[in-house]
């Protein structure tokens, strides 16, 4: 991306990642709904936002953290938290709940609600991307 090290590039990167996650979540919700009557089917959810928040929060505090110094070759490396651009969505199978007697845990009302919420998120992110590019067009003119 041309604007990689700018606020504009970061904003577009976050929007792009959000659109990708929303698209993936839409496919997962569709699969859950399609299998709502399949015996022993377990619904899948996408975890992403909490990991992204953790990565973004770390950006604000990392400058105030004490730096780890490895003084001996045998010392363990300190784990470095993910940056926002490296955070990936994670599909999680829900094995703990059961909604129906046949072992299936798809609640069609919940899935429909999640689909509507996800659709609104996708639309908002697409509008935000359009707004960002309109800002560039205004500057270029």
pLDDT of residue 63: 57
pLDDT of residue 36: 95
As a whole number of angstroms, the distance between CA 15 and CA 31 comes to: 24
Rounded to 10 degrees, what is the CA torsion of 104, 106, 108, 114? 180
Burial class (CB in 10 A: 0-12, 13-18, 19+), 129: middle
Does residue 58 register a pLDDT over 60? yes
According to DSSP, the residues that pair with 92 across neighbouring strands are 45
Of the listed ranges 5-19, 29-43, 69-83, the least confidently predicted one is: 69-83
**If we measure between CA atoms, which residue out of 26, 4, 51 comes closest to residue 119?**
26
**If we measure between CA atoms, which residue out of 22, 37, 33 comes closest to residue 101?**
37
Mean pLDDT of 61-76: 68
DSSP category for residue 43: -
Mean pLDDT of 79-89: 83
Query: Which has more pLDDT, 6 or 30?
Result: 30
Query: H-helix or E-strand containing 33?
Result: helix 7-34
Does residue 75 register a pLDDT over 90? no
Mean pLDDT of 89-109: 91
CA angle, residues 135, 119, 7, in degrees to nearest 5? 30
Chain-centroid distance of CA 124 in Å reads 15
pLDDT of residue 1: 46
- List, for residues 101-118, the tens digit of each pLDDT value: 899 999 999 999 999 999
């Amino acid at each position: 991306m041309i604007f990689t090290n700018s606020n504009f590039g970061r904003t577009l990167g976050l929007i792009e990642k959000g659109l990708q996650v929303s698209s993936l979540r839409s496919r997962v919700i569709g699969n859950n709904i399609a299998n709502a009557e399949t015996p022993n089917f377990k619904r899948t959810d996408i975890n992403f936002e909490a990991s992204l928040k953790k990565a973004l929060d770390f950006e604000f505090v990392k400058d105030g953290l004490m730096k780890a110094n490895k003084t001996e070759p045998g010392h363990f490396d300190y784990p470095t938290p993910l940056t926002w651009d490296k955070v990936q969505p994670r599909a999680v199978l829900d094995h703990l709940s059961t909604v129906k007697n046949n072992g299936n845990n798809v609640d069609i009302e919940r899935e429909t609600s999640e689909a509507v919420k996800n659709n609104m998120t996708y639309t908002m992110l697409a509008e935000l991307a359009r707004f960002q590019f309109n800002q560039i067009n205004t500057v270029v003119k």
